[in-house]
């Protein structure tokens, strides 16, 4: 038992050391203290929200049965998928750069840790959807009221993304 916790704290120590090392690199410092790089990257990160979460939200509303009820669910998903993918790529790239600019601050900020956890859950939500109820989409494509698994996916997705955006904003404050 004691060996396990000792090993655990050793792993944690070395990860923190890695973060510290990352923080001290020339690139990280340049991004952090430069005049324009950080604001520009941050702007892309915030504005790509519309392209990524904004379009996903429309799919969620369809799954929740609140909007686009006469549109085929698979249609909506297929139509917005490329734009959502593009948007999320920008989010990921800009997000990585932002993390790289302030790795120590991000790592030690509770809001950021929660954000990462929620991001993982959001990804899991999508994966489960595609592996499960979406396989049978032909059965419920035209229905205004979709099966409960799809509805749950919609609600979970919306709530998770809400949480992610809130945590993202509050990373600056904690």
Cα gap 55→59, rounded to integer Å: 7
- In whole angstroms, how far apart are CA 6 and each of 3, 13, 108? 5, 10, 21
Among 22, 31, 46, 104, binds other proteins (CB under 8 A): 46
Binding of other proteins at residue 30 (CB under 8 A)?
no
Which one of the spans 3-11, 45-53, 90-98, 143-151 is the region binding other proteins (CB under 8 A)?
45-53
Cα gap 21→27, rounded to integer Å: 11
Nearest to 115 by CA among 65, 166, 55: 166
Binders of other proteins in range 71-90 (CB under 8 A):
71, 75-76, 79-80, 83
Which residues contact other proteins by CB under 8 A? 36, 39, 42-43, 46-47, 49-51, 53-55, 57-58, 61, 67-68, 70-71, 75-76, 79-80, 83, 162, 165-166, 169-170, 173
């Amino acid at each position: 038992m004691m060996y396990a916790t000792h090993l655990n704290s050793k792993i944690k120590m070395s990860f923190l050391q890695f973060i510290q090392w990352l923080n001290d690199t020339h690139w990280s410092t340049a991004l952090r203290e430069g005049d324009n790089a950080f604001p520009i990257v941050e702007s892309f990160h915030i504005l790509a929200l519309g392209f990524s979460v904004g379009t996903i939200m429309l799919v969620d509303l369809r799954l929740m049965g609140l909007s686009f009820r006469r549109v085929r669910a698979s249609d909506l998903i297929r139509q917005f998928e490329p734009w959502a993918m593009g948007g999320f790529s920008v989010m990921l790239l800009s997000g990585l750069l932002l993390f790289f600019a302030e790795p120590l601050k991000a790592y030690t900020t509770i809001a950021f840790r929660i954000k990462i956890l929620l991001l993982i859950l959001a990804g899991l939500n999508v994966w489960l959807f595609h592996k499960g109820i979406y396989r049978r989409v032909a059965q419920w494509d035209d229905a205004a009221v979709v099966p409960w698994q799809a509805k749950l996916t919609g609600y979970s997705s919306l709530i998770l993304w809400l949480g992610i955006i809130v945590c993202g904003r509050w990373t600056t404050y904690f």
